[in-house]
Amino acid sequence: MKTEQENIVKTASPAKRSPVIEIKDLHKSFGDNDVLKGINLTVNKGEDLVILGRSGEGKSITIKCIVGLVIPDKGNISVLGEEIIGLNRSELNKIRVKIGFLFQSGALYDSMTVRENLEFTLKRHSTELSAQEIDTQVMDVLDSVGLSDAVDKMPSELSGGMRKRIGLARTLILKPEIILYDEPTTGLDTITSKEISELILDIKKKRKTTSIIITHDMSCAKLTADRVMILKDGVIHAEGKYEELEKSEDEWVRSFFI
């Protein structure tokens, strides 16, 4: 009988580079619902990994486990060489500042302006910065997402795409080494989706970040992925390069690319 690891449809072996995120045998249940049943994955430095899967397969839960928002039932998660399960809040926070997380909705603080949203995070982690330096950094990061005009707007005045860009700017302001994107293009029109996908690519090139991108948007996956993983029934069903999985012999895998 084949093990789960052997059952994975592999189309290519990842290049041998230094791993930044390593997940081993990750399990998570909610009541009787076993969502993750032994996820194993490695993300190497500078790599953009796209995770695909049907809704409810546990893609978002996986990345929430990486930042400690969800505590797994079993398994190991190593981020930047540090085992994160079992860490206390202050130890975990030291790793969290190196990880950016873009939420599906943007999750902007809606009682604050765009400027305050960005300053709120920065001021708490860079207490030595002057008001002038904070302002410069805020404007720089807004420039990088193409929204410097929106600095004094409230989140309620922004469109869906703008909210995601500001969410991304808020993530970037701490200069993270890793960025986790939770469905960055969901709910956006085709043009805005493409702009967000290009922004993700641009961030990777300029800032040399490592990313995990959860998406249902195949054009986003095609544009951003160095490697693709597909979740099915709580385990990784297939992994490889986008073009290779597109031609996979596995019908279920191919169904994502139609």
Partner 1 sequence: MPTLYFKNTFTDIGDVTLFTKKFFKEVFIPPYESKEFFRQCYLMGYKSLPLVAVTGFIMGLVLTLQTRPTLATFGAESWLPGMVALSLIREIAPVITALICAGKISSGIGAELGSMKVTEQIDAMEVAAINPFKYLVVTRILATTLMVPILVVFADAIGILGGYVGITIHSDVNAYRYITQVFESLDFIDIIPATIKTFFFGFFIGMIGCYKGFNASNGTESVGKAANSAVVTASLTIFILDMLAVQITDLFF
Which chain residues interact with partner 1 by CB under 8 A?
64, 67-69, 89, 92-94, 96-97, 99, 101, 103-105, 107-111, 120-121, 124-125, 170, 174
Smaller CB distance to partner 1: residue 66 or 245? 66
Report how far residue 238's alpha carbon sits from residue 87's, in angstroms, rounded to the nearest whole number: 31
Report how far residue 221's alpha carbon sits from residue 249's, in angstroms, rounded to the nearest whole number: 20
State in angstroms the smallest separation of the CB of 162 from partner 1: 16
CB 113, CB 195: distance < 8 Å:
no
State in angstroms the smallest separation of the CB of 182 from partner 1: 9
Smaller CB distance to partner 1: residue 68 or 72? 68
Report how far residue 67's alpha carbon sits from residue 79's, in angstroms, rounded to the nearest whole number: 9
Smaller CB distance to partner 1: residue 66 or 223? 66
> Which position has the token pair 């690319």?
257
Smaller CB distance to partner 1: residue 122 or 230? 122
Smaller CB distance to partner 1: residue 163 or 237? 163
Smaller CB distance to partner 1: residue 11 or 117? 117
Q: Is 21 left (phi over 0), alpha (psi -120 to 50) or beta?
A: beta
| Residue 255 token pair | 């169904």
State in angstroms the smallest separation of the CB of 247 from partner 1: 37
Smaller CB distance to partner 1: residue 59 or 170? 170
| Residue 64 token pair | 């929430």
State in angstroms the smallest separation of the CB of 165 from partner 1: 15
If DSSP codes are grouped into helix, strand and coil, which group holds residue 66?
Answer: helix
- Alpha carbon distance, N-terminus to C-terminus of the chain: 32
If DSSP codes are grouped into helix, strand and coil, which group holds residue 11?
Answer: coil
State in angstroms the smallest separation of the CB of 113 from partner 1: 14
Report how far residue 84's alpha carbon sits from residue 75's, in angstroms, rounded to the nearest whole number: 11
State in angstroms the smallest separation of the CB of 124 from partner 1: 6
State in angstroms the smallest separation of the CB of 68 from partner 1: 8
Sheet of 33-44, strand order? 33-44, 19-30, 74-79, 82-83
Report how far residue 131's alpha carbon sits from residue 177's, in angstroms, rounded to the nearest whole number: 25
| Residue 162 token pair | 């703008």
